[in-house]
Amino acid sequence: MTKNAQLAAWVEQSAALMKPERIHWVDGSEAENSQLVEEMVRAGTLIQLNQTTHPNCYLHRSAPNDVARVEHLTFVCTRDQDAAGSNNHWMAPADAHEKIDALYAGCMRGRTMYVIPYLMGPYDSLYSRAGVEITDSPYVVANMRIMARVGTRALTHIEAGNSFVRGLHSVGDLDPDRRFIMHFPEELLIKSVGSGYGGNALLGKKCHALRIASWQARTEGWLAEHMLILGLEDPTGKTTYVAAAFPSACGKTNLAMLVPPAVFNGWKVWTIGDDIAWLHPGPDGRLWAINPEAGFFGVAPGTSSKTNPNCMGTVGRNTIYTNVAVTADGQPWWEGIDQPQPENLTDWQGRPYDPANGPAAHPNARFTVAAAQCPSYSDQANAPQGVPLSAIIFGGRRSTVAPLVYEALNWEHGVFTGASVASETTAAATGKVGLVRRDPMAMKPFCGYNFADYWAHWASFGERSTNLPKIFHVNWFRKDGAGRFMWPGYGDNMRVLKWIVERCEGRADALKTPIGSVPHFDSLDMGGLDLTRATIDALLAIDPEIWTQEVDEIAKYLDSFGERVPAALMRQVARIKSELANQRAA
């Protein structure tokens, strides 16, 4: 059902292997979606929620063993193992194909094979990229329809001769022992089996827009990053654009939709993206960012009108919920939502809620919703050229060590700062939660090639332009001796954003340290916030002893990537160590 011979042949070949009962080419229309939703409701895959309070909202319950990304089953399959790097699990392409094709054999018997042409990025943008996902999951189709631009227009783009990434997906039998997420960047190909969940199954997202795209970006001179994009409008109407990289479930969605505290009269945050940014150097030497996605696949627990009012204003309609709890009258519910826990709650597995079974909503429960529904959606979100970045912010979830905010001294130091990000693990991936691990640029699970080459690629931008964004590092998650968060976070993060904007404009004061420049106590706008001077000092403190240890650990981590690590990073290690030593001696 396409004029593109390569695509037609691939679909035919996939059908011959997977043996679906029928093939459906997704056109992206309303009528098609309604029919699909109806079928899923009939099959019990979707549960209709209360249509009065939540029009056009549905709940999906995934298999209980299929609730997050599976990093240990995710592979980058390049001809040369070093190209994938020790940051990725690697398998030789021939072995990977053989292994996964065996699981694909006959896997769609009795099922429909959906062919989803999609576009990542705005229509009419030179930066947008196409893909085609083949899947046997109608849930994936319905989610892809929200997260990407799917259907006829994307197919036309492909038929016009543009290249496309092929993504093959089957839920298989959902057995974790027969689950793999495999990437073949040299073939622009993804193969996924055994999971119906988020980043494992919506192949346009992490698999294409990060792992495959990062590989392409390296050879083509741009960056595919795990970043939100927002615009910060000041009271004069001037908007400054920033992108920020934090690991999964560390608050990207909340920051992207931030509502400033009341005292920040006239300031406004505009949302462009909450998870992925593609950055291209423009003719002016600045980095221009587009959001390749069209929707949000955000974490529900913890979301409320206090933590993220814009999000609550987004997810009340036309939303697919996954693994949330549901109230007796059919409303979605999760831990941290505004309404107190009601009687007769049904948990994420469909059981009557019993605290002995853990939380009512799964900690990685999600909503899928169109970005255009967000009250703070930027009028620049679909600009074909993207938005020009003034700042890039890196951050992690660190209860110790990292101060509230600091600014890298220059681009090279900024790349070091990104490469040294560490964060406590979250429920977004299977495995233990709360362990500190290195997560450079928040890309540990998503960089499709050797991290050392990736850092060199980042560093190379410093030689190409003198007009790059300033780089910052933030940490909203610092705790005191009693284990309490010291910083209120959420809307109050505006105080840090404002300092960042002022630094970009060369206005706010800072104290230069070997780690970077930290705000002076009175250059942070703390109006209306009841924090003691001692707490603010503690939040901004950089302890030379602790940082000497930290830099040693960073150096050890960087060293583990061997000779490919760019000299620029090792230069920064040496500089910081010697400056810290001088400080300790003084």
Binding stretches for Mn ion (CB under 5 A): 248, 275
| Nearer Cβ to ligand SAT (248/475) | 248
Q: Could you say which of ligand SAT, Mn ion, none residue 199 binds, taking C-beta under 5 to 8 angstroms by partner kind?
A: ligand SAT
Question: What is the rounded distance in angstroms from the CA atom of residue 13 to the CA atom of residue 214?
Answer: 28
Choose between 157 and 366: whose C-beta lies nearer to ligand SAT: 366
Binding mask 281-310 for ligand SAT (x = CB under 6 A): ----------------x-------------
Q: Among 49, 116, 232, 428, which residue sits at the site for ligand SAT (rule: CB under 6 A)?
A: 428
Residue 199 touches ligand SAT, criterion: CB under 6 A: yes
Mapped onto helix, strand or coil, the DSSP state of residue 268 is: strand
Query: Which of ligand SAT, Mn ion, none does residue 111 bind to, with CB < 5 to 8 Å depending on kind?
Result: none
* Residue 286 site contact among ligand SAT, Mn ion, none (CB < 5 to 8 Å, cut-off depends on kind): none
Q: How far is CA 123 from the centre of its chain?
A: 21
Q: β-strands 387-395, 470-474: how paired?
A: parallel
Expressed in percent and rounded to 5, the helix, strand and coil fractions of the chain are 35, 25, 45
- Give, as ranges, the residues between 322 and 341 that touch ligand SAT (CB under 6 A): none
- Minimum Å distance from CB 395 to ligand SAT? 15
Give the active site residue among 250, 311, 447, 504. Answer: 250
CB of 48 to ligand SAT, least distance (A): 24
Smaller CB separation from ligand SAT, 205 or 208: 205
Cα–Cα dist 310/43, whole Å? 33
Query: Which range of residues in 73-81, 175-183, 199-207, 371-379 is near ligand SAT by CB under 6 A?
Result: 199-207
Residue 332 contacts residue 57 (beta carbons within 8 Å): yes
56 SS3 class: coil
How far is Cα of residue 356 from the mean position of the Cα atoms in its chain? 32
User: CA-CA distance, 203 to 198, in Å (whole number)?
Assistant: 8
The 369-408 site mask, x for binding ligand SAT (CB under 6 A), equals ----------------------------------------
Q: Which is nearer to ligand SAT, 427 or 539 (CB)?
A: 427
Using the rule CB under 6 A, is 75 a contact of ligand SAT?
no
CB 461 within 8 A of CB 445: no
**Residue 331 C-beta: closest distance to ligand SAT, Å:** 24
Structure tokens at 500: 């960042």
Nearest-10 Cα torsion for 559, 564, 567, 569? -50
Considering the complex, what minimum distance in angstroms separates the CB of residue 379 from ligand SAT?
26
Sequence-ordered list of residues with C-beta below 8 angstroms from that of 95, at least 6 positions apart, any chain: none
The one of Mn ion, ligand SAT, none whose footprint includes residue 428, by CB under 5 to 8 A per kind, is ligand SAT
Q: Which of 427, 298, 425, 423 is nearest to 363 (CA)?
A: 427
Does 206 engage in binding with ligand SAT (CB under 6 A)? yes
Size of the residue set binding ligand SAT (CB under 6 A): 8
Q: Which is nearer to ligand SAT, 293 or 525 (CB)?
A: 293
Q: Choose one: 198-206, 258-266, 454-462, 479-487; the region binding ligand SAT (CB under 6 A).
A: 198-206
Q: What gap in Å lies between CA 458 and CA 416, rounded to an integer?
A: 10
Given ligand SAT, Mn ion, none, residue 169, with its beta carbon under 5 to 8 Å by kind, binds none
Among 198, 295, 386, 395, binds ligand SAT (CB under 6 A): 198
Give the nearer residue to ligand SAT in terms of CB position, either 213 or 573.
213
49 binds, among ligand SAT, Mn ion, none (CB under 5 to 8 A by kind): none
Q: Is 69 in the site for ligand SAT (CB under 6 A)?
A: yes
Q: Nearest CA to 474 among 418, 425, 513, 555?
A: 418
Q: Could you tell me the CA-to-CA distances from 566 to 140, 454, 558, 585 in Å, in that order?
A: 40, 9, 10, 30
Rounded CA-CA distance 239/231 in Å is: 6
Is the C-alpha dihedral spanning 312, 317, 319, 323 positive or negative?
Answer: positive
**Does residue 60 bind ligand SAT (CB under 6 A)?**
no
Of residues 87, 68, 78, 83, the one with CA closest to residue 446: 87
State which residue has the least CB distance to ligand SAT.
199
Give the C-alpha separation, 97 to 100, whole Å.
5
Among the listed residues 149, 205, 211, 457, the single contact to ligand SAT using CB under 6 A: 205
| Burial track 444-478 (b if 16+ CB lie within 10 A, e otherwise) | bbbbbbbbbbbbbbbbebbeeeeebbbbbbbbbbb
- Both structure tokens of 270: 């505009």
Answer yes or no: 311 catalytic: no
Q: Which does 69 bind (CB under 5 to 8 A by kind): ligand SAT, Mn ion, none?
A: ligand SAT
Q: Is 54 in the site for ligand SAT (CB under 6 A)?
A: no
Closest approach of ligand SAT to the CB of residue 297, in Å: 5
| Helices and strands (H and E) in the chain: how many | 16, 29
439 touches which of Mn ion, ligand SAT, none (CB within 5 to 8 A by kind)? Answer: none
Residues whose CB falls within 8 Å of the CB of residue 44, separated by 6 or more in sequence, listed in order: none
Q: Is 248 in the site for ligand SAT (CB under 6 A)?
A: yes
State the minimum distance, in angstroms, from the CB of residue 254 to ligand SAT. 14
* Cα angle 315-153-229, degrees, rounded to a multiple of 5: 45
Q: Which residues bind ligand SAT (CB under 6 A)?
A: 69, 198-199, 205-206, 248, 297, 428
Catalytic residues: 250
